[in-house]
Amino acid sequence: MKIAIVGKPVKEEVVPFVRRLLDLLLSQGVQVTVADEFAASLAPFFPLPPHIDVFTREDSLLDVTYLLSLGGDGTLLDAVTYVGPLQIPILGINMGRLGFLASVPYAQLELAIDSLLRGHYTIEERSLIHLDSDQEVFDGKNFGLNEFTILKRDTSSMIAVHTYIDGEYLNSYWADGLIVATPTGSTGYSLSCGGPVMMPQTNNFVISPVCPHNLNVRPLVVSDKSVISFEIEGRSTRYLVSLDSRSKPVDASIQLAVRREDFNARLVKLNQVNFLTTLRTKMHWGLDQRNA
């Protein structure tokens, strides 16, 4: 068995946890390979144990059984770009704050690794969103787990995003931007803009305007079998487009459309963790604030 590890830059307080993780995996006879950026952040604290390899974004992970994401949800979103169509199962261990996706706290490290190695887990298939454009934007990584977003740049005036579903005109969104979120992304940026929470297995996208000029324009749920295309208009000639946490400036002449990706992200779900429990915990649902 071979396990790859990606992670956010290491802070001193989590160094003992990372060392324990590596020692635990090696003691179980697991082959370990570590992302080069993560390995570089470990270097000031301790050298990597012998027999641990280092990989880059350009290297193939074809022989990897699992990928561990050490960090928060942002780290796991980045981990998806390492895996892509290989669909290697990803386990997120939370060293960040919120942890909708990376829902296993690092205090439960031993239990999580034991469950993984024993096969005491299920695989949750999460749909991805794919960007089609007439200009290369994201270096071939044209997919995201959470959302695709069009935004105005800096403090420029609002933009108009003329939006079409399967070629049929939907609406012109006069706003700071527009989000198209997957069910996974419905608990992220879209939620902060008033969008609904969707169950992970829902076969839909949610279109959410960012600070719309017309307050009657509300988020809209559409089938993920649809192709959603856009034309951008505004005083500026440059705008921002993003897939999850990756953002790039683009020219207004670019042609953009999104659809469901042909492959999924496969998230490892441990038996003691489920989406509804995570949702209640992170959103503080059902708590009596009078007793807080």
- 191 Cβ contact list (under 8 Å, min separation 6): 197
DSSP string, the chain: -EEEEEESPPPGGGHHHHHHHHHHHHHTT-EEEEEHHHHHHHTTT-PPPTT-EEE-TTS--TT-SEEEEEESHHHHHHHHHHHGGG---EEEEE-SS--SSS-EEGGGHHHHHHHHHHT-EEEEEE--EEEEESS--STT--EESSEEEEE--TTPPPEEEEEEETTEEEEEEEESEEEEE-TGGGGTHHHHTTPPP--TT--EEEEEEES-SSTT---EEEETTS-EEEEEESS-SEEEEEETTEEEEEETT--EEEEE-SS-EEEEEETT--HHHHHHHHHTTT--GGG-
Maximum Cα interatomic distance, the chain, rounded to a whole number of Å: 61
Residue from 23, 36, 53, 73 carrying the catalytic annotation: 73
Task: Identify whether 139 is a catalytic site residue.
Answer: no
As a whole number of angstroms, the distance between CA 3 and CA 48 comes to: 15
Amino acid identity for residue 254 in this structure: I
Question: Is the separation of the CB atoms in 25 and 52 below 8 Å?
Answer: no
Active-site residue list: 73
